[in-house]
Amino acid sequence: MSVTGTVRQKMPADIAAMKGGAPIVCLTAYTTPIAKTVDPHCDLVLVGDSVGMVLHGLPSTLGVTMEMMVMHGQAVARGLQNALMVIDMPFGSYEQSPQQAFANAAILMAETGAGAVKLEGGQHMAETIAFLVARGIPVMAHIGLTPQSVNTLGGYKVQGRGDDRARLIGDARAVTQAGAFSVVLEKVPQGLADQITADIAIPTVGIGAGAGCDGQVLVVDDMLGLFTEFKPKFVKRFGALGEAADQAVANYAAEVRARAFPGPEHVFADEANK
């Protein structure tokens, strides 16, 4: 969509309007070059707190700070022209109270230019979501497997099986009623994800939740194959950049040790020989 000849960056309302239509394409990004790469192809780019594990080597997302999210959010914003940028609220920045959540969400949006924030939790976070939305902060919800709650969930397990099914349906309805413009469904059985998608009025964005969701999201490093040793069941590798990078570095090391690099074309002649 263009305004006076320029591309208008997508807004939360644009994503909400995609409910039941063309699937929403979403990837994570943490740096300017990756943001520029994914922007032409995505409707939504998520600056995820997964940055802690992907780029900083943390064992989980729990150690991610507001400062880290601001830094990476600013970097991603520099690379986007088309996609809506949503930024994760890190662990400990919103759970205490709606007031705490508003103060920190306002910082994230003001300092990064993000169009919305994402926070984890269903029924117990509905009051906070409503508080934020009423004060002009668009919220993307996240239910199912919520990585910030991995210790209480007992690990990275599929959610919504058996007696847990009703809880997730209740979570989806609660975040919808609270005013979230979309909701991530993570590691939810496909049949349940399909039921939730049909049941609520906002788009569902799945990760490990089946093709019936209104859209899909993956961690960009996973789908590019940058990690050769780690591959969750729900990830499809659309590239093998990790293997290619390993081979390129090996080739470089071999040429340096053989004094084959740098070659004549890579060096500068002495002034006298010009």
Which residues are documented as binding site?
49-50, 88, 118, 120
Which residues, in sequence order, are CB contacts of 6 under 8 Å at separation 6+? none
Give bridge partners of residue 84 from the DSSP assignment. Answer: 44
Contact 61, 14 (CB under 8 A): no
Helix (H, G, I), strand (E, B) or coil at 70: helix
User: Residue 129 and residue 40: Cα distance in Å, rounded?
Assistant: 30
> What are the catalytic residues?
186
User: Which of 10-13's residues contact partners 24+ apart within 8 Å by CB, and which partners?
Assistant: 10/43, 10/44, 10/82, 10/83, 10/84, 10/115, 11/84, 11/115, 12/84, 12/115, 12/116, 12/138, 12/140, 12/181, 12/182, 13/181
| Angle, vertex CA 156, rays to CA 153 and CA 160, nearest 5 | 65
List, as residue ranges, the binding site for Mg(2+).
Answer: 49, 88, 120
Q: To 10 degrees, the CA torsion angle through 173, 178, 184, 190?
A: 0
Helix (H, G, I), strand (E, B) or coil at 95: coil
Helix (H, G, I), strand (E, B) or coil at 229: coil
List, as residue ranges, the binding site for 3-methyl-2-oxobutanoate.
Answer: 49-50, 88, 118
Tell me which amino acid residue 178 is: A
User: Residue 227 and residue 241: Cα distance in Å, rounded?
Assistant: 8
Helix (H, G, I), strand (E, B) or coil at 88: strand
